[in-house]
Structures are given as C-alpha cells and as structure tokens.
Chain A
Amino acid sequence: MTDSLRRSLANLYIPLGSLLAALIIFGGFCALAGANPFGVYHSIYRAAFGSWSSFQNTLTQASPLMLSSLCTALPARLGLVIIGNEGAIVMGGLAAVVSGLALSDWGAASPVVQIGMALAAMGLGGLWIALVGALRHYRAVNETISSLLLNYIAIALLNHLINGPLKDPSSLNNPATYPIPAVHMLGNLPGSRVHYGLIFGLVACGIAYFLIQRTTFGFAARTTGGNLRAAKIAGLPVGQLTLIICFLGGACAGLAGMVEVAAIHGRANAALNAGYGYSGVLVAFIARQNPIAATVVALLLGGILASGGILQRAHSLPDATVLVFQGIVFLSVLYGDSLQGRLSGLMQRFRRQPVPPPAPIGPLV
C-alpha cells in the first residue's frame, strides 16, 4: 500500500468512523430518552432524504451552510482557525440590503441590483474576515478569538442599524430594514422551492477546491499553512496570501448573507443571525476543510436539521435533540481528527507489542 493511498484512505475512514461512532452514541441517547434508535434513524432518513419534497427541505437547509463553511475551510489551508462566519454573514446581509436599496432607488434593472447586492455582500464580508487576517499577520492577534469577537460586533451593528438608521418605521414590533422590492428578489430553481443559493454554494465550493488544489496560488497557500517559516524563506508573500484567502473566505460567507436577504427575507432583520455561521464551522471541520467534502457534509447536516421536526412530532423527543445530535457528531469528528496520522501507528503498536502490565505504584488507600 503506497503512502498516499493510505493517507487518502485515512481521510475517508476516519470521518466515516467518527460519524458511525456518533450514530451509535446518539442511538444510546435516544434509547435513554425512551425512543427506539432504529425508528429514529428511519425517521431521520425519511424526513431528510425520503421523498423529493423532504429532500428539498434538506437542500434548503444545506445551501447556506456550504457558503458559510468556506469561511472556515479556506483560511484553514493557511493554518488559520477562523470562526467569524456568523459575523461575515451578517455583514454580507447588511451590505446586500444597503446596496440593493440604493440600486433599486436609482432605478437599476433586476440583474444589476442582484449583482450589485452580491458584490457588495462579498466585498464587505471579505473585508470583515480580511481584517481578522490582517490582525493575525501584522499584529499577531489570535485569529480564532478575534473572529469570534467580531461576530458579536457584527451582530451589535446589525441590531443598531435595524433599530436605528436603517429601520423601516412600519416594522414596529419586529425591527427590520426597508424591504428590497419584490421584483429584485432571487427566485427559486425551476421546478422546486430551493433558491439559487444552492447553486452559489456548489459553484463556490467547486471554485474553492480548484483554487486550492490545482493552482499555484493554492499551492502557495498550502505551503504557507504547512510550514510558515519555510514559506517565508522560499519568498512567498505570506501577508498577501493571508489577506487574500481570508477575503475569499469572508466573501463566501457574505454571499450567504446576501442570499438570506435576497432570496428569503427581502430585508435585514435579527433572523440574519440565525446560527448558519456556527453550523458552517461544524461543516468545515467535519469536511476536514475540503471544499468538495463540505458540500456533502452540508447536505448531511442539512438533512439532520430537516429531520429535527419529525424527531419532536413523531418520537416526542425533546427539541434540543437535534442539537445533541449535532454536538455528538462534532465532538466525535474532532476526536477522530486527533487520530489522524496516528491510527496506523497505534494499530501497529498494538499488533507488535502487547502492552506490559503496569507496575504497582504503591499501596492503595
């Protein structure tokens, strides 16, 4: 077995094994909660993938997660752990509303308004995360902490704007911005109720994969992520790479915010901050920061989310069950991640040398 084949196998069976372990643990949880685990899994399958209608539910839940996950997955190739997805989504949504309102006031045609909204959202979302990258590179500020804190700032800014300067006075008890005219909204994919965000997500993940795996730029980014000093010695522009990759990641999350505004809500309100950012982090980690795998994982997680209702209604499980399931999956994948590259070593050790019995430590009290 060649080394690379073994590595790619490990890339496959460790996440799958982790998922399986999570399923078993969650099954135990269901049994404790008084539900038949097999019945629960059957319902999850039925509610998530069982019919075209329920599969559309899954696709709908999955599409924001694909874009959002790239905000973590792309910078991860540089070795940065960024969890500012939520903030970038919020900023993207805000930029989309402001630009959409401005462009439609100006009388622009729908495609122009939509493209303007998308560009503004990607720009602001990108700058938001590029700020994290800049703090990391130039001021050595921990990027995880700063991106997390920027989430709170973005949400505070959203609350301030929808309660103040951007508030539509008619949105009395549910503060929101003025709405984008309905003609400028993004439609649904033909023959379905899934909006174009899904296509954006798939395309963005495809481009991201190509960029990272198949271009010189991506190679430089991976090199930097692999060994920062070596990259510097090799003369790679580490600062630029950091800013650009962070910008691209943030731009994807910003686009997710734009889709929320332009395809669903038509305005920015507190629902922009609905947790897609944090679910995106989860997707990126389970996908081992691989953009193509992220699409599949997003579908899986979307399916889990889509089945949340059935668990409550058909199995009388508590409403937090879906979160418990998500949490178990996340923990088990993170744990599986720590086995990466050590599993084969561990197995060999087990095979070759039986562990000697531990020496007595002293009298037990």
Chain B
Amino acid sequence: MATPALSVTRRQVLRGLLATSAFGLTVKLGGCGDSPIADDGTDTLTAGFVYVGPRDDYGYNQAHAQGRDGLADVPNLSAFDEANVPETQAVQETMRSMIDLDGASVIFATSFGYFEPHVLSLAEEFPDVQFFHCGGLYEEGVHPDNVGSYFGYIDEAQYIAGIVAAHTSETKRLGFIGAIPIPQVLRNINSFTLGARSVDPSVTTQVIFTGDWAAPVREAEAANSMIDQGVDVLTCHVDSPRVVIETAERRGVFSSGYHASQAELAPNGYLTGAEWDWTSVYRNYITWLQEGKTLMNGGIPHLVRGGLGDGFVKLSDYGSAVSDTAKQEAEDAKAGLLSGDLVIYAGEIQDNRGNTVVAQNEALGQTAIELEQMDWLIEGVSGSVS
C-alpha cells in the first residue's frame, strides 16, 4: 500500500499523543510549580487592572490606563495591568493568573462585557479577592459579596461640551457618532443636545450609529458624510474617538472629545471633551482598601457612582477656538451641576417623535433609574434608536 501523500503515520500520531499526555501528567503530578507570590507579611496591596483594548487608543482604555498610571506614587501599592484582553474565557484566565501568579488581592475589570459570566464566576471561585467592575450593575443578594461596581455620570460633561459646541457652531448643526443605541450612549447624545439647545434652541444634532464599539472605517465614513451635510462640530461615543477627531480636524471642522483627551490630535478644532477621571476614582478605592475596608466587611459600597462633583468625570481644557462667552456659560453650567441647582433632565422634555418623556414638573436626578433605561432621543436629534 502506498503511503498517503501527507504522511503522518499512525505510529507518529500515537507517539505524539503519548508525549502530550505524558507531558500533561508530569506537569499535573509534578507539584513543583511556581508557588504564588502570596502575602509576604508586608501590607503591600496588589491590584491588577484588565483592559479590553490597547492602552493608547486615545479612548476608553487609555482613560483607564491613565487612571492606573495615576496611582504610581501611592505607597505600598503594586498596580499592574494587562491590555487587549478579549471578553472571552481569556479574561478569566488573565484574572486567575493575576491572582495566582502575581498575588493580586484586588482586580479592576474595566470592560462592560467582563461582568457576566467572567467576573461573577471568578468571584465565586476566589471569595477573598475583591473584584471591581466598571459599569456592571451589582445586585444585592444576587451577585457575590466580593463584587463591586463603579461608573460615572459622564453625560454631565457631555452637557457642558454641548454648550461649548453650540456657541462655536456656525451652521448650528452638530454631529454625534455613536457605537450602538444602548442607554449609556443615548444618554450622552441627549445630554450633549440638551446642553447645546440650552444655548440656542435651533441647534440640531445628527446621530449615526456605527453598530460596533470599534469600527474605524464606518466612523470615518459617518464623520465625512456628516461634514458633507454641513455639520461643523463632531463628537462621538465609540471606544476610540481617534478617527472621528482626526477626520474632523482634516476636514477643518470642530470636534469635541470623549473618554480621554484627544486635544493633541486636533490642535485647531478641538473644543473640549467629556473625560473620565479614573485616577481619582482608583485613588479613592485604594485609600479605602489600605484603611482595611473591604466589600465583604461593608466598608466599601458595592455600587459607587459619581459625576463632576465626585471627581468621576472632567472636561478637557478648552481649545483655542472656544470664545470667552462660551467658556463663561460652560463654567456657569458646571457650577450649577456641582451645586445641584441645574438638573439636566428637567421637564418638560419631548423625544424626537413627539412623545413626552419627562413630564412638566418632573426633574430626573442623575441617580434616576429611568435614565439608566433610556430608549429615546430628544427633540432636536435626528436619528433613530432602532
């Protein structure tokens, strides 16, 4: 019988299989693995940060990485990170390896999709490790006790960015490129537009959803087509605003940033931006932890939320194109939000199909559950949720 063309013989296969299983057994039974660098008596806190994308995406992940970098001068803290970890079993392995190999007692899982099932199942497996997840909704009694969640009301910063945008726009047409029509994105679009229309009710915002958190080609297409239609201030809610901001700059229109500062990408057209201030959030957590507070002993709340006043979010420095009037009004609005005099979602507010979504004398504060379930776009926004 002729040997088949691609000849791995049966003997070779058997040998290979034997070798692999023998190897597996040796490593399993060998028992001389690397012992975890566990608590060595000192009170150094070891924290691991996990990001879903690259550290330098000028966006969501960069904001978190900068937050971790801001911890560099905290004494008795070892904070390390890992980027580009997909929302698959890979993130479970990453967190496990941080705990087993690096001795992490605290994990910050920064991507929304890490929560279920990944963070939840690891939390059950490691009840002594605390898992803080960005954006997840912790439910008392449903989720493990060693899981906490943190997130910020970044739409406050978007509201102020909308004020600046409306002052700067000449065509009175703003553009917003969103990833997918989920409540968080809709809330940013609506707050941005409400801010703009508080300056000039004739301002409109055009919305395009790209359908994906990272879709550079579609983001560029959306930006170009909106600019072609007369939009002269662009902002976005995608993982990396880089493409949108660069496209705006190249086409000579203004832009407003998101997640992190993109000022260096658009020296001429960058107005301001809604940024996360994770350093202040992470510092706060680390202080709690170093004081001996934990999620399990009730010292740290399971749900941590905040806006401008709590240091969760901030605005990029104003660009050169921002007028003094715009700056003044923006600062006034900021003061109003900080003092609580200004409520963004105060009635009456209609959606862009003519339904009343916030009634006449109703004012929805930032913690209102209705805002977390938003499925409408306000009057003045052209675009549709479905």
Q: Which residues of A contact B (CB under 8 A)?
A: 4, 7-8, 11, 46-47, 49-55, 57, 60-61, 156, 159, 163-164, 172-175, 209, 213, 222, 260, 264-266, 269-271, 274-275, 288-290, 292-293, 296, 299, 305-306, 308-310, 312-313, 319-320, 322-323
Q: B111 to chain A: closest CB distance in Å?
A: 9
Task: Please tell me if the beta carbons of A319 and B113 are within 8 angstroms of each other in the complex.
Answer: no
For the complex, is B72 an interface residue (Cβ under 8 Å from A)?
no
Q: A298 to chain B: closest CB distance in Å?
A: 12
Task: Please tell me if the beta carbons of A49 and B23 are within 8 angstroms of each other in the complex.
Answer: yes
Task: Please tell me if the beta carbons of A50 and B34 are within 8 angstroms of each other in the complex.
Answer: yes
Indicate whether A53 sits within 8 Å of B33 (C-beta atoms), given known contacts A11-B7, A61-B90, A175-B182: yes
Task: Please tell me if the beta carbons of A288 and B6 are within 8 angstroms of each other in the complex.
Answer: yes
Task: Please tell me if the beta carbons of A174 and B117 are within 8 angstroms of each other in the complex.
Answer: no
Q: A345 to chain B: closest CB distance in Å?
A: 18
Looking at the complex, which of B93-101, B196-204, B270-278, B310-318 is the stretch in contact with chain A?
B93-101
In the complex, A38 Cα to B30 Cα: how many Å?
Answer: 24
As a 0/1 sequence over residues 72 to 108 of chain B, the CB contacts with chain A under 8 angstroms (1 = contact) are 0000000011111111111001101110111000000
Task: Please tell me if the beta carbons of B8 and A11 are within 8 angstroms of each other in the complex.
Answer: yes
Contacts of B101 in A (CB 8 A): 47, 310
Task: Please tell me if the beta carbons of A320 and B54 are within 8 angstroms of each other in the complex.
Answer: yes
Indicate whether A51 sits within 8 Å of B20 (C-beta atoms), given known contacts A60-B93, A274-B86: no
Contacts of B2 in A (CB 8 A): 4
Contacts of B80 in A (CB 8 A): 313
Give the 6 A-B CB pairs with smallest separation, nearest first.
A51-B33, A319-B83, A319-B84, A52-B28, A271-B87, A8-B7
- Within B1-59, which residues are at the interface with A (CB < 8 Å)? 2-9, 13, 16, 20, 23-24, 27-28, 30, 33-34, 54-55
Chain B residue nearest in CB terms to A185: B117
* Count, A-B residue pairs, CB within 8 A: 132
Task: Please tell me if the beta carbons of B27 and A46 are within 8 angstroms of each other in the complex.
Answer: no
Contact of B24 among A4, A55, A289 (CB under 8 A): A55
In the complex, A313 Cα to B5 Cα: how many Å?
Answer: 45
In the complex, A245 Cα to B76 Cα: how many Å?
Answer: 60
Task: Please tell me if the beta carbons of A290 and B6 are within 8 angstroms of each other in the complex.
Answer: yes
Task: Please tell me if the beta carbons of A290 and B34 are within 8 angstroms of each other in the complex.
Answer: no
Task: Please tell me if the beta carbons of A172 and B97 are within 8 angstroms of each other in the complex.
Answer: no
In the complex, A104 Cα to B372 Cα: how many Å?
Answer: 31
Contacts of B94 in A (CB 8 A): 309
For the complex, is B180 an interface residue (Cβ under 8 Å from A)?
yes
16 contacting pairs across A/B (C-beta < 8 A):
A46-B34, A50-B33, A51-B30, A52-B27, A61-B89, A61-B90, A175-B182, A222-B5, A269-B113, A271-B86, A274-B87, A274-B88, A309-B85, A313-B80, A319-B84, A320-B84
In the complex, A299 Cα to B83 Cα: how many Å?
Answer: 22
The majority secondary structure among interface residues of chain A is helix
Contacts of A271 in B (CB 8 A): 86-88, 113
In the complex, A174 Cα to B5 Cα: how many Å?
Answer: 49
Task: Please tell me if the beta carbons of B93 and A61 are within 8 angstroms of each other in the complex.
Answer: yes
In the complex, A4 Cα to B84 Cα: how many Å?
Answer: 45
Chain B residue nearest in CB terms to A63: B89
Task: Please tell me if the beta carbons of B180 and A175 are within 8 angstroms of each other in the complex.
Answer: yes
In the complex, A334 Cα to B182 Cα: how many Å?
Answer: 42
Task: Please tell me if the beta carbons of B97 and A54 are within 8 angstroms of each other in the complex.
Answer: yes
For the complex, is B254 an interface residue (Cβ under 8 Å from A)?
no
Q: A141 to chain B: closest CB distance in Å?
A: 24
Task: Please tell me if the beta carbons of B55 and A319 are within 8 angstroms of each other in the complex.
Answer: yes
List 4 additional A-B contacts (Cβ < 8 Å) besides A60-B89, A213-B6. Answer: A289-B6, A296-B20, A312-B83, A319-B55
In the complex, A49 Cα to B30 Cα: how many Å?
Answer: 12
Contacts of B211 in A (CB 8 A): 156, 159
In the complex, A8 Cα to B86 Cα: how many Å?
Answer: 38
Chain A residue nearest in CB terms to B181: A163
